[in-house]
Chains A and B, each alone.
Chain A
Amino acid sequence: MTLQLTVFLSYLVLVFALGAFAMRLTRDEDDYWIAGGRLGWLLGGATLAATHASAGTFIGTIGVIYTVGWSFSWLVLSIPIAYWFTAAVLAPRFTRTRQLTLPAFLESRYDSRGVRVLGAAIILIATVVYIQAQVVAGGLIANVVLGVEPLTGMVAFTLILIVYTVVGGMIAVVYTDLLQLVVMVLGAALAVPLAIHDAGGAGSLLAWVQATRPMAFRWDAMPGTLLFTMGLAFTLGSVATPEKLIRLYAMKDLTTIRRGVLLAIVVTTVMNLMVFVLALCAIVLFPSLATGDLAMPMVARAVLPPLLGALLLAAVTAAMMSTVDSLLIVAGSALAHDIVGTLAPRFVARHSHVWIARCGVVATGLVPLGLLASGVGEGELVQFIVLLFTALMASSFFAPVVLGVLWKRATRQGAMSAMVLGVSSAFAWELWGSEAVDPVLPGFVVSMTAMVTVSLLTDPPPQSALAPYWPADSGGD
């Protein structure tokens, strides 16, 4: 336990040191929100991969595969598909203007402050849900590693995250993401062979899982519709979530984006595959866990040597932190830059933009913690909270962002309808719809339908709004 604590504390000291280093590099709002738009492919790809890999990967996914089997692991293919689409189709037009936030892009493209504020409000609300999922996982880890109450662990993790994100902004997030990615890959890569060895070797592992849990290797272990729609949620969400889109602005050009995306695809998918194998090991080694979310902490504690176990748990922590810090940046920017900046420009003009940004990060970081302290969201399986966030983001932003850069006829009324009806449909489905279909399907269909229908029924957008995205051709579609 002492060794685990030492590894943990050393890791946290490193993270803080990077945050302090980044603070010295942060000169203005550009630096704070998008790292000055200067990232190369290594840092850009690493921060994309680290943001993608979350507690959902190390706690949630392993938990779901432990519970329902290998068919769920095929959803990992949503990562290369979504990122390829982003690099090939979205990025070339999306990055033609230089914005600091996704809502600012929406205002630019649709020539509407209303679209911007609406987008920021949706991001704020949905991000709280997602941060909660990560914080719940942080509490689980703290409980296993340090023996403290989960709620104490949640508070401690959140405060640590808020401090270094507030201090260093996106630059701190990017550098800590690189460190966290290295820790994640190292932790998973070292854990897999040892866990397989403990489970009796690769052949024995597969044979044992098949013998004791025949459903683990069957396609019908989950309803086909649910599997397909979850894949749709991951794919659309990987394209349209604000914390990923904003990283396109942080990288310096399209060649960098393409290379960074390759790095993100390879690292994220390989890391996922390693985690999936750990889930099979957990089935053999701990066949009757109370919840699948305990599979990873149990592998780390009971299977691995203390140092490696500590490293793996540090990796899980890294995954959680690298996602939450990015979400804090996105939520903080939505609050400070898009909502306060748009609705109270005089206030913003009187104060330092970076100071307001930091206040935004603190405010959005404390909300999920307050909700969890009140018992809201506790006890949910982490991966399903992650899926809900992904579905809400995809239902809100996929249509306005993707059609916004591909279809000149897309209007602000269409974008607002798509966001409101999309997110409402997804949320309503989550509450009252069939569990065999992920909420992203109704959300996505309603959002796209609203976008197209309302756009066609309203006046075309002004040429001034379209010109930056179609510079060579200002005619109709």
Chain B
Amino acid sequence: MSDGPGFIFWGLFVVFGLVVAGYVAWMLWHESREHGRSTGSPGSDLRRDGGPGGDDASGAPRSP
């Protein structure tokens, strides 16, 4: 590992940028996949499938 203010300092910014880019790519991939799957279907929200849970659970789907 480097001891100077090189990688320990700048590397953090680079790694963070890469992680955010990865998340955005994953999110867009997810949305495009769901968009393709959901044409004509109720949508991607898994909670639409959910039934009632505990005493608070109405089981009602969320507002779209």
Which residue numbers of A lie inside 8 Å of B, CB to CB? 37-38, 70-71, 73-74, 76-77, 80-81, 84, 87-88, 92-93, 95-101, 104-105, 107-109, 116, 206, 209-210, 217-219, 252-255, 258-259, 262, 265-266, 269, 273, 467-468, 471-472
Contacts and interface: CB of A to CB of B under 8 A. Distances in A.
A262 B64 CA distance: 20
A37 B62 contact: yes
Q: Is chain A's binding surface mostly helix, strand, loop or mixed?
A: helix
A101 to B, nearest CB: 8
Interface residues of B, number: 40
B46 A96 contact: yes
Contact of A206 (B9, B20, B27, B53): B9
Interface string B25-64: 0110011001000000001111101111111111110111
A87 B53 CA distance: 21
Nearest to A107: B54
B47 A77 contact: no
Given A96-B49, A97-B52, A108-B57, A252 B63 contact: yes
A468 B32 CA distance: 27
Contacts of B20: 80, 262, 265-266, 269
Nearest to A217: B5
A253 B62 CA distance: 7
A278 B46 CA distance: 43
Contact of B3 (A95, A98, A218): A218
A76 B4 contact: no
A76 B12 CA distance: 9
Nearest to A99: B56
A104 B52 CA distance: 12
Nearest to B4: A217
Given A217-B4, A217-B8, A95 B47 contact: yes
B30 to A, nearest CB: 7
A75 to B, nearest CB: 10
B54 A104 contact: yes
A373 to B, nearest CB: 35
B16 A468 contact: no
3 closest Cβ pairs, A-B complex = A97-B53, A108-B53, A108-B54
A468 B45 contact: no
A153 to B, nearest CB: 34
B6 to A, nearest CB: 8
A65 to B, nearest CB: 12
B5 A99 contact: no
Given A105-B53, A105-B54, A468-B52, A254 B27 contact: no
A98 B46 contact: no
Contacts of B49: 96, 471-472
B14 to A, nearest CB: 11
A71 B2 CA distance: 11
Contacts of B64: 252-253
Contact of B51 (A93, A97, A209): A97
A99 B51 contact: no
A462 to B, nearest CB: 13
Contacts of A209: 5
Nearest to A276: B12
A217 B9 contact: yes
Contacts of A76: 12, 16
